Structure 1
Amino acid sequence: MDPESVASDEPPKNTFLADSAWPMSHRTSYIQGSSPLPGPTSADSLSKAVYRNTDLINITFAMSAPYANGDIVAWGSGMTSVYKVSIDNNRTQIIDKIKKTKITSIANATSGAYTVLDKDNVFYVPGQGSLHAYSDSIAGDPTSDIQLLRSLDIPTDALRGSNAEDPIVGINMTYDGYLAIATKRGTIAVVSRDFTEFNYLQLGASDTGEEVSNSIAVDEHGGIYVVTSESMYRVQWTGDKLSLDESDGAWQSTYENGADIQVPGRLGSGSGATPSLMGVGDQDKFVVITDGQLVTNIVLFWRDEIPTDWQPIAAGKNRRIAAEIPVNYGDDSRLLAMSEQSVLVRGYGAVVVSNDYGSTVAQSSNPTLSNLVNGIVVFFSNTRKYAPYGVEKFEWNPATRTLDVAWVNNDISCPNGIPTMSAASNLFYCIGQRDARWNVEALNWDTGESVFFKPISKWFFYNSFYAATQIGPQGGIWTGTITGVTKLSRQ
């Protein structure tokens, strides 16, 4: 892509995030998962993979801005600890690791998976019913130990049930510098970064709420986008309060949530996606998710005001829905097509990867047992029995106001990780598998054709296990794994 095109599709900069290549989960408050930075363009341009053991389940890394000496670090959060890793092409080492004050249960494995690093190099990590802020023990020293600066216990009246029943799931940064969080049963809160201010509202019924199983998106106008087991919401942060009033800009729309459909790999009811925001500047603006149907649909909702001449896409559909198309990877007879990843967005392009594990293992209503089943299936998702295949790109056409299939590639398997793309290199990347060997896959963003793949290893500790594929500041590929961090440097 040309530099002007790269810049024109970039979301507005959130100045309260670290000024870095990847300051938070899904990279920006828009949760697009894409990057303007150049990535690798050939297998030879990537070094051999380097692995470091950190902790169980490492979903994303928050990368710092350069320190005064030029060093950059990545902050990570696992099941039991918070850690800091050096970033450069010559060394990858764990600088420090400290135990979390409270260990997340298996039933709430996503609590602490999503994180944010702010402009002051403070790393925010949710716990089951608390929020924690970490930083360097010596300000400005990238090699110093980690210190816990402060913690906030969520008030009991803001939760529905105990903190184990209603843990924090999602976190983001508003454009006026507040932390936005969402709990499993639908409490949405805005918290000052020093933890002295706490504003909240609750979605759904007063006693049971609605289930939130992924993170949240935020726009520059105070919109906080939350998908629950029942509805897609825009909760409005006015700067003083949270609102569900349409007069403040808030809205709610139902979607095809799949009722109680549960298949292996899904972390909750309804949509398996953190909402992604599409459209910047004068472009049409949407919220993008995949829904909860057995053959999942990609769904676009008008983000701001609905065009006055817009008609519902079908009888009975909410007028807020701009598009709803099955993600069937070119097979109209397909009976199951599931995705647990957020939709990868750049410009008007949106990519979905298949997480259809072909398993008939019944899911349990017990969240601990359900997550154990998910873990077993995802652990073996590079094997012939479970490996999913399929990547599909969709493109919004502003002239016809339709969402169209751009391309399908059914030869590529991205078993369980969150994909990314480089606008500068015009390439899609995921942690894929070929013959059970983990690798980096690269596809042409415009055509879907395979450009290269870089083998990593068959060892289980290279399993991406729900983690994000990230483009580092030197153009390399980073990913969390089931037990650590893997880096392939640009060379």
Structure 2
Amino acid sequence: MKSIQLTLFMFLSISVTYAQLPPKNPFLIDSPFSAVHNGSYRQGNSSLPGLNSNDEITVSFASTPRNKVSPWLLYSESYPDESHTIWGSTSTHIFKAISTETEFKVISKYRINYNPMINDLSWSLLLLENHQVLTYDDNKLYLFGEKDNTDPRSEIILIKTIELPKNISTVSKLCRLYDGTIAFASSKGLIGILDSNDFSIKTIYQIPLERKEKAYHNDYAADENGNIFISTTKKMLCVQWNGTTITPKWEVLMDFGGNRFQGIGTTPTLLGSGTHDKLVCVVDSKKPARMLTFWRDNIPIDWKGIKGENKRVAAITDLPGAMVPNKINTAVENSPTAYGYEIVCAQYNGFLGQSCKNKKGVYKLKWYEKNNTMKIVWHRYDINLNNVITYSIASNMIYGSGREADCNYYYYALDWETGKTVKKFNLGDNKKYDDPGNANIIGPDRSIIFNSKKGLIRLRPR
């Protein structure tokens, strides 16, 4: 795995500008898909090749504990035999699965939450070295491991429980920062930093919130300078961890649309690095939805701003036809996938199940440094990708699934440059294939795995 990644990194470093590759976070584990959105920049891309136009596939299903599966699946670091396991969580359990040529199943699980109506556990987990996993439930952190961390089939064990202060309720959104510390969020607008050795709290910062303002639903992004980018229901903001404390850097009040349940929509996605333009993007819930782009660092001296907007707003780009599907959802809930200054997002149809006549829309946008504009490169109104989209740099394709008018679920591979369908797989009409907004992870064998409310779905090339 390390040699493959090194070769790809060298190739990409030669063939593209530095701005297209976020700085490597040295504290993320070495794995095919190591963290939520596959990195602290939250770009959701992968250097591994995925399915291609010549593939025929085998579709496999693996049942998970209960029927509430989290949006996130992550690959472990490699074992001595060079294999990997896949970790995930439901509203009640953390679990581990294996995927080989002959097997695809959950091999171990550990129950945490005894109230299946509470959905706290089903959002985020952080993979650490030595096959350890950090997750949470309410105001507790749980550190898991394996009885034998050299054996992928080994049973999950609870290593440690860390109880946080009672004022920190509903912990969520774990993120490994570039200095190795671990950031978390909580439902009251608190951002905390944990020591990576004993998980003690180093500092806590309270996001200033207005009445009914929420800063909990979306994940957040972090860069190599300790900056953390957060979207609430009423503003976009940046705070900075300097190794000792968290201090506010900037905030922009905006009317994002949305609703009291979910607010703005997507997790912030970072574009640009090095000496190039540094941006942070989110999609709001106006009608139609808009891609909002902000200067995440210093605002260029020659930037005149957009009339009527805060000067930190770099672009506001309408997504034609992107509409809120119902009262409790946003138009583009699932975070985009990005590479360089190009970013792709899609219409969302909710987590309760896609209808046969759902709303369509996939959009690719690009930031042009020369004239400081964000423009739509292509868009499609004929398909829906209801998942957190994944882009393969090696294959130059976007992957995702949705339901069509014939009531079948289809899995798509789209060309990154044009948006045209490269390959389309008919999964059938069984609702177990309904992806309510989850990550699609690419494995070392080019398999793609995503989760539904019923279990894990694997598309493996034959």
TM-score by length of 2: 0.90
Distance 1:234 1:6, change over 3 A: same
Distance 1:273 1:111, change over 3 A: farther
Partner of 1:370: none
Partner of 1:469: 440
Partner of 1:192: 195
The answer as to 2:80 corresponding to 1:90 is no
**Partner residue of 1:201 out of 202, 205, 219:** 205
**Partner residue of 1:144 out of 147, 151, 154:** 154
**Partner residue of 2:165 out of 133, 155, 159:** 155
Partner of 2:394: 424
Q: Which amino acid aligns with 1:93?
A: K
**Cα shift at 1:393:** 0.7
What count of residue pairs does the alignment treat as equivalent? 442
Secondary structure, aligned partner of 2:432: helix
* C-alpha distance in 2 between matches for 1:240 and 1:116: 22
**Partner residue of 2:46 out of 30, 35, 38:** 35
Distance 1:274 1:320, change over 3 A: same
Partner of 2:178: 175
Partner of 2:317: 325
Per-residue CA deviation, residues 217-274 of structure 1 (Å, 9 max, x unaligned), is: 1111111111111211111010111111xxxxx221122222xx43xxxx83421111
* C-alpha distance in 1 between matches for 2:211 and 2:379: 43
Check the 8 A contact 1:135/1:146 in 2, yes or no. Answer: yes
Partner of 1:21: 32
Check the 8 A contact 2:285/2:332 in 1, yes or no. Answer: no
Check the 8 A contact 2:70/2:122 in 1, yes or no. Answer: no
* C-alpha distance in 2 between matches for 1:383 and 1:467: 19
Per-residue CA deviation, residues 24-59 of structure 1 (Å, 9 max, x unaligned), is: 2211111111112111112x5242211111032231
Extract unaligned runs of 5+ from structure 1. 245-249, 358-373
Partner of 1:369: none
**Cα shift at 1:129:** 2.2
**Cα shift at 1:6:** 6.2
After the TM superposition, which of the residue ranges 271-280 and 428-437 deviates more from structure 2? 428-437
Structure 2 counterparts to residues 275-290 of structure 1, below 5 A? 275-290=268-283
Check the 8 A contact 1:272/1:290 in 2, yes or no. Answer: yes
The answer as to 2:63 corresponding to 1:60 is no
Q: Which amino acid aligns with 1:52?
A: A
Q: Which amino acid aligns with 2:459?
A: L
Structure 2 counterparts to residues 321-360 of structure 1, below 5 A? 321-329=313-321, 338-355=331-348, 357=349
Partner of 1:450: 421
Check the 8 A contact 1:6/1:424 in 2, yes or no. Answer: no
* C-alpha distance in 2 between matches for 1:330 and 1:60: 24
The structure where strand makes up a greater share of residues is 2
* C-alpha distance in 2 between matches for 1:325 and 1:242: 31
* C-alpha distance in 1 between matches for 2:454 and 2:151: 27
* C-alpha distance in 2 between matches for 1:295 and 1:330: 5
* C-alpha distance in 1 between matches for 2:224 and 2:156: 31
**Partner residue of 2:356 out of 383, 388, 406:** 383
Check the 8 A contact 1:54/1:484 in 2, yes or no. Answer: yes
TM-score by length of 1: 0.85
**Cα shift at 1:154:** 2.6
**Cα shift at 1:214:** 1.4
* C-alpha distance in 1 between matches for 2:172 and 2:154: 29
Check the 8 A contact 1:48/1:456 in 2, yes or no. Answer: no
Check the 8 A contact 2:120/2:138 in 1, yes or no. Answer: no
Cα root mean square deviation, aligned:
2.3
Per-residue CA deviation, residues 382-429 of structure 1 (Å, 9 max, x unaligned), is: 422xx1211011100111110111001111122x31111111111111
Secondary structure, aligned partner of 2:58: coil
Partner of 1:221: 225
Per-residue CA deviation, residues 100-127 of structure 1 (Å, 9 max, x unaligned), is: 1454644xx3653122212332212132
**Cα shift at 1:475:** 1.5
* C-alpha distance in 1 between matches for 2:21 and 2:103: 30
Distance 1:5 1:103, change over 3 A: farther
Check the 8 A contact 1:441/1:452 in 2, yes or no. Answer: yes
The answer as to 2:308 corresponding to 1:296 is no
